[in-house]
Chains A and B, each alone.
Chain A
Amino acid sequence: MGHLKRTVPLWIAFIFGVGLIIQYFVPHPISQKALGMTQKWLVIVVFVALLLGLGSLLQSHLRKIKAQSAGWGYSVVTLTVLALTVAAGFHPNNDKPGGPLLWAYTNAYSPMSSTMFSLLGFFIASAAFRAFRARSLEATLLLCTAVIVMLGQVPLGAYIPGVSNISAWILGVPLTAAKRALTFGVALGSIATALRIIFGIERSYLGGSE
């Protein structure tokens, strides 16, 4: 059993990891065909992962309801809506105009989602008020940059001499340099982690204590 849980996944990770790295550099039709096949498999794996996610969601919320732990009422709402959405999916006109899925999407999901996003404006204003304080040289620089970029993003900035140009320079030079450094750092970290997984050094994805 341990063999199936540990050794087999490690070999699968190794074969597919090394295989797809080699494939990337081989333009031969056989290599391209192999890529096409693995991509189809990937779509199937993603679908199975969605099913697993659904199972996990059910398990976690049912446990909460059973134990009547804090906020269990929200779990009831979540599962009820989930059941209704799945049921709507079986309706013959589910995605046609007037169908139950599209109706729920237009009349419930869409306005709720927009409302949630709109709240951000209030929180950003509150956070800016509290966070942008000229406590040190670095904080003052951050504050000035934020103000210039904010004004540079609206037509008003065009009426304040230099704001648009400075804002464009901040976005094009220091921001790009910093983001590029971050991206390279993340990429190198990702490569290192991928290699650790491919060669079986990193095994936490298998679960358990390792």
Chain B
Amino acid sequence: MTDELRKNATRWAIFATVAVVVVVSLLIGGVSDFKATPVVMKVYDTIEKMPAGTPLLISADFDPGSEAELEPMLRAILAQCWRKKLRVVVMSICSVNSPPLAGRILKESAAAHGAVYGTDFVQFGYRAGGSAPILALGQDWFAVYPKDLNDTPSRELPVMKGITKLTDFPLCLEISAVSTIDYWILAGNAKYGLKLALGVTAVMATDYYQYLATGQVVGIIGGIAGASQYESLTRRDDLKRASESGKDGGLASSRMPTQSAIHVAVVLLILIGNILYFMGRRKAKA
């Protein structure tokens, strides 16, 4: 077998292993009950301490590529918001792809919990320019968003009562799969002192741990694991239902067994790779 052929065979064997592990674990199913870590608990506790009627800003900055990780996260947070009767204001600075995704999740979650558009929640559209809209929102909300996504004048919406600028929100939850988080940290937090909590994809989470110690970010929900931990705090009834019915239910906790299986498979692949490496080295020495 030539080196090229061996390399290709190894790659295909790895791909096949990953595919088999994913398919089998999906077929087996199951729901994980993942205890929340302190980093996730901080986000939960901050929202939990808010009195009813407090406005909460959510910047939904994700697209279909990261939807699988961030959708359950947004749903878990919204479940807490509806229970706490907070006023939810959703906006986007990532791309034109974000508002349709966030809008669907928002509408479905609100309908399930009886939240009313315009009174309990509102959605604003995408604004380009990175940190520019954040800086402008810090001066005058209505200059950036004179109307919501339904073309209703923002000032006429009951949910916007008492809100004139960014600092009227005690917390902003940035749910993102891109570097818009940096804009929120630099423009929202550093410039206006806006308190931030992050919901990010797993690969991005490690980039933002540095802001936890400085207090610039109150907490981080990272990837499916973070979303699953948040569900264990806010969607216990849904977890129980999914566990009993064996149906996915769109929960992150239903995806955790697959993620666990893949992590174990990757660790085993690393071990096998090292065993083969040392065997090859011994053979070469002999």
Q: Is the CB of A43 within 8 A of B128?
A: yes
Cβ contact within 8 Å between B209 and A153 = no
List of B residues within 8 angstroms of A110 by Cβ:
64, 67
Asked, given contacts A150-B266, A172-B209, whether A129 binds B272 with beta carbons under 8 Å apart, the answer is yes
Interface centre among B15, B128, B260, B270 (most CB of A within 10 A): B270
Quick one: given A35-B139, A156-B260, A168-B37, are A126 and B15 in contact (CB under 8 Å)? yes
Q: A interface, by DSSP: helix, strand, loop or mixed?
A: helix
Inter-chain contact B206/A175, CB cutoff 8 Å: yes
| A205 CB-CB contact with B under 8 Å | no
Closest to A153 in B: B225
Contact B100 A179 (CB under 8 A): no
Pair A126/B11 contact, Cβ less than 8 Å:
yes
Taking a contact as CB atoms closer than 8 A, the residue among A143, A156, A168, A171 that contacts B270 in the complex is: A143
Q: Which residues in B have their C-beta under 8 angstroms from that of A146?
A: 270
B277 adjacent to A133 (CB under 8 Å): yes
Across-interface contacts of B262 in A (CB, < 8 A): 121, 125
Taking CB atoms and an 8 Å cut-off, the chain A residues in 164-184 that contact chain B are 164, 168, 171-172, 175-176, 179-180, 183
16 intermolecular pairs with C-beta atoms under 8 Å apart: A39-B132, A39-B139, A43-B136, A46-B128, A46-B129, A109-B64, A110-B67, A128-B270, A129-B272, A130-B273, A151-B263, A156-B263, A171-B206, A171-B209, A172-B209, A179-B210
Q: Point out residues on B near A: beta carbons under 8 Å.
A: 10-11, 14-15, 17-19, 22, 32-35, 37-38, 63-68, 97, 100, 127-130, 132-133, 135-136, 139-140, 143, 202, 206-207, 209-210, 212-213, 222-223, 225, 256, 259-260, 262-267, 269-270, 272-274, 277-278
